[in-house]
Amino acid sequence: MRRNFAIALVLSCLTGLGWAESASAAPRILTRTEWGADESLLLTTSEEPKPAENQVPADEGNGIAERVKQCTEAQQNYPQEFRAARTVKENAQGKKLRWPQSYSPSVKMIVVHHTAQTLHDDPRTPLERMRALYVYHAKTLGWGDIGYHFIIDEDGTIYEGRAGGDNVIGGHAYCANVGTLGVALMGNFETEEPSQIQVLSLQWLLKNLTDRYNLDPRNTVKFHGNSKEAIVGHRDVVSTACPGYFLAGVLNQIRQHVASGDISARVSFPPPINENYVDRTDVRRSERLKTLKIDPTAPTLTVIGDSSVPVRPGGQVTVSLLFRAGGSSVQRRARIASVMRSSPRIGIWQLLDQENMRIRQEIFAPRLIHDGEVETIRLRIQVPEIPATYSVDIGPVTLTLDAQGRRTRSPVSEPVPMTSTETDRINIPTPGAQRQASSVSSASSASSASSPLIRLRLTTRETGSATCGAYDIASIGKQYRGAVTCTVIAGKAALINDVDLEDYLAGLSEEPDTEPYEKQRAFAVAARSYAAFYLDGAHRKFAGMPYDGDDSPARFQAYSGISAERANPRWVRAVKSTAGQVLTVNGEIVKAAYFSSDDGRTRTPAENGWKDFPFADVFASKADPWCKGLSMAGHGVGMSGCGAKGQAKEGKTAEQILQYYYPGTTILGLGSRE
């Protein structure tokens, strides 16, 4: 079996290989599994398939008829260039594919696109946008998959697109899909510039693809009777504005950088378009939807990710829906869709204004959503303790909740919302009650339904009072993601924050934005590994207590909640860019200890008096020249802050820094360890 190129790229990235012919490091690449592609959309449905490679694009001013005419002539004059080498109509399980996977005999060109999604006012995370783009292509347009082979977000993360592996024909360039690969950058580059890290990732990917497919970016190729560059913009093969003014304006620079191997070189963007320019992106999208008989004035609601969600009986999941306003604005707190559940014991909460509203029969707009705008609707759902398959209908969306496995021993007598303002009425178990480990089925993003919950004791907010009545729980709850509750432990009132692991990490205050970004990314992975290690029932940090950790750096990790997020947006970005990643040995999470500074070398666990430390070989003493001359600050085991900072300033990536301090480990997603 031939190896999927995207998987090979991921493996090269995780092993710390550098960018080709560059001192910079490879960007992160997510496979379809890692970014959460709903593979059920690949399969046939009751609808007629609309293969992307056969679609006629919306008119952009030059007329559909002319475009169809040109394509027809090319098919007549160069029929051999439209023939597939083979076609696969079923997946590995023998199920029929909605869009059969046909394969080009060879790849002649790489076509660069933009997604035409304006980013500066889009509240969604890149991962949410990736999933929404996939749903738009595969479901809304009816293609059965995404048309692009690769997609790059503004943080430089690369996503595997069209399923099928090497040479699979995409649906990205009308009449020019056979023999080409499509690479799209997130953004609308008619009105905004791509980020430099986005361009660097594009150059790295193009260098790897041209090497892989034996393409010479310095030479031209014959394509449909015309001479074309090996790397072209979408507008070079069909009449369109894609890949937008700013990206098209630097494509020649990018091509030269790839040809010379100088893929770490930055580009200089052209000056802004004159003030008389009118962006027609939304008009073109509306025209396309009209050709598909989709009403652009009607609001839409779709699920981000898989609509079938595994959960333990009595457990909770977070679900995100994508709402797009139609031809008119939707007022704040206006009804969006009705809610029906298969069991009245299913609890549902919607996050509104950083608080939670218990949902009964409808969900609401969290803000004023202007016509054509999109908004992510975040829900927390808790299923009954009886194993069964439950369903929740939210407007046109049906969520299937498969409650199987061991029952969650919930710390509350009713479902816990993401942020509680009624916590004094919630019953917490008495001290000594062992809490079972959180379910860790997958953790691809902060908004993923499978991000595990972690419980933190907010010791820095406690005053030593004996009663919960001494605290304004509602006010404190607004300062943290998730739910804030109060219980009494050993005669003292204790504040507990139940929060998604990814949201918890975003609220850490240990790596402020004064630190280099790659150092922040390295510490995000280490901090997630450390916290996830203690979510395992066999590794309890606070045995017998109804919490997993606390907000003290001396005992666990420094955690400040929403205030830390607002003060350090780049740290939040670092957390999102590494979402779900943990350090592992043989599939087991490593307790990734870290500290501030040392005197030129790290210490072993034994030197620090730690007996039976798991995977002690990983934490053997290492030379730490970046810290030479400094004094010891911290226990000295694992990754040092001064060393990580020094390496980041030298151009090392987070992955390279982690490999230095934690040799022999492998970075995996939480859900990929099973």
The reported pLDDT for the residue numbered 273 is 64
Q: Name residue 187's amino acid.
A: G
Average of pLDDT values for 233-258?
Answer: 88
Task: Return d(Cα 353, Cα 522) in angstroms, integer.
Answer: 32
> Angle at CA 450, nearest 5°, toward 195 and 402?
140
Mean pLDDT lowest for which of 47-51, 343-347, 607-611?
47-51
The reported pLDDT for the residue numbered 533 is 93
| Cβ–Cβ under 8 Å, residues 449 and 318 | yes
Q: How far is CA 279 from the centre of its chain?
A: 28
Average of pLDDT values for 171-199?
Answer: 88
Say what angle helices 641-649 and 517-533 make with each other, to 10 degrees: 140
pLDDT digits (tens, 9 = 90+) for 538-566: 888 898 888 999 998 888 999 999 988 88
Task: Return d(Cα 26, Cα 8) in angstroms, integer.
Answer: 13
pLDDT above 80 for 57: no
Average of pLDDT values for 414-436?
Answer: 31
- Token pair in block for residue 151: 């997609």
Q: Strand, helix or coil at 259?
A: helix
Reported confidence tier of residue 426, pLDDT bands at 50, 70, 90 = very low
- Better-predicted residue by pLDDT, 636 or 155: 636
Reported confidence tier of residue 10, pLDDT bands at 50, 70, 90 = very low
The reported pLDDT for the residue numbered 626 is 95
The reported pLDDT for the residue numbered 403 is 86
pLDDT above 50 for 175: yes
Task: Return d(Cα 646, Cα 650) in angstroms, integer.
Answer: 6
Average of pLDDT values for 606-629?
Answer: 93
Task: Return d(Cα 196, Cα 198) in angstroms, integer.
Answer: 5
Per cent of the chain over pLDDT 70 is 80
pLDDT above 80 for 58: no
Task: Return d(Cα 581, Cα 493) in angstroms, integer.
Answer: 34
If we measure between CA atoms, which residue out of 469, 406, 490, 467 comes closest to residue 441?
406
- The residues that bridge with 220 in the sheet, in sequence order, are 229
Average of pLDDT values for 643-660?
Answer: 93
The reported pLDDT for the residue numbered 603 is 95
Task: Return d(Cα 448, Cα 500) in angstroms, integer.
Answer: 9
Q: Strand, helix or coil at 416?
A: coil
DSSP assignment, residue 104? -
Task: Return d(Cα 354, Cα 359) in angstroms, integer.
Answer: 15
Reported confidence tier of residue 442, pLDDT bands at 50, 70, 90 = very low
If we measure between CA atoms, which residue out of 549, 546, 535 comes closest to residue 507?
549
Average of pLDDT values for 72-84?
Answer: 84
- Better-predicted residue by pLDDT, 184 or 44: 184
pLDDT above 80 for 412: no
Q: Taking the complete model, does pTM exceed 0.75, yes or no?
A: no
Which helix (H) or strand (E) segment holds residue 576: the answer is helix 569-577
pLDDT above 80 for 625: yes
Average of pLDDT values for 395-411?
Answer: 77
Distances from the Cα of 333 to the Cαs of 95, 124, 169, 198, 365, in angstroms?
Answer: 43, 19, 44, 36, 5
The reported pLDDT for the residue numbered 54 is 56
**Rounded (10°) CA dihedral 290, 295, 299, 301:** -80
The reported pLDDT for the residue numbered 410 is 44
The reported pLDDT for the residue numbered 352 is 79
The reported pLDDT for the residue numbered 409 is 54
Average per-residue pLDDT in the chain? 80
List all residues 6 or more positions away from 480 whose beta carbon is below 8 Å from its beta carbon: 419, 458, 497, 499, 507, 561, 562
List all residues 6 or more positions away from 144 whose beta carbon is below 8 Å from its beta carbon: 41, 42, 43, 44, 49, 50, 51, 97, 98, 99, 138
> Which regions of 293-346 does DSSP assign to beta strands (E)?
300-303, 308-311, 316-324, 335-341
Mean pLDDT lowest for which of 279-288, 573-582, 651-660?
279-288
| Cβ–Cβ under 8 Å, residues 155 and 126 | yes
pLDDT digits (tens, 9 = 90+) for 298-322: 788 887 666 788 888 888 888 878 7
Q: Do domains 5-283 and 297-408 have the same CATH topology?
A: no
Sign of CA dihedral 502, 506, 511, 514: positive
Q: How far is CA 431 from the centre of its chain?
A: 37
* CATH architecture of the domain with range 297-408: Sandwich (2.60)
The reported pLDDT for the residue numbered 310 is 84
Q: How far is CA 208 from the centre of its chain?
A: 23
Q: Name residue 307's amino acid.
A: S
pLDDT above 70 for 594: yes
pLDDT digits (tens, 9 = 90+) for 327-351: 788 888 888 898 988 888 899 998 8
The reported pLDDT for the residue numbered 439 is 27
If we measure between CA atoms, which residue out of 187, 185, 191 comes closest to residue 272?
191
Average of pLDDT values for 503-509?
Answer: 93
pLDDT above 50 for 637: yes
Ranked by mean pLDDT, which of 49-53, 235-239, 670-674 comes out on top? 235-239
Reported confidence tier of residue 600, pLDDT bands at 50, 70, 90 = very high
Q: What's the distance, Cα to Cα, between the start and end of the chain in Å?
A: 23
DSSP assignment, residue 632? P
The reported pLDDT for the residue numbered 424 is 27
pLDDT above 70 for 81: yes
Give the residue extent of every domain in the chain.
5-283, 297-408, 418-674
| Cβ–Cβ under 8 Å, residues 211 and 20 | yes
> What CATH topology corresponds to 5-283?
Lysozyme-like (3.40.80)
- Better-predicted residue by pLDDT, 307 or 265: 265
The reported pLDDT for the residue numbered 420 is 32
Q: Strand, helix or coil at 464?
A: coil
The reported pLDDT for the residue numbered 618 is 94
Task: Return d(Cα 321, Cα 132) in angstroms, integer.
Answer: 9
Whether the bond into 243 is cis, omega within 30 of 0: yes
> Angle at CA 588, nearest 5°, toward 522 and 571?
20
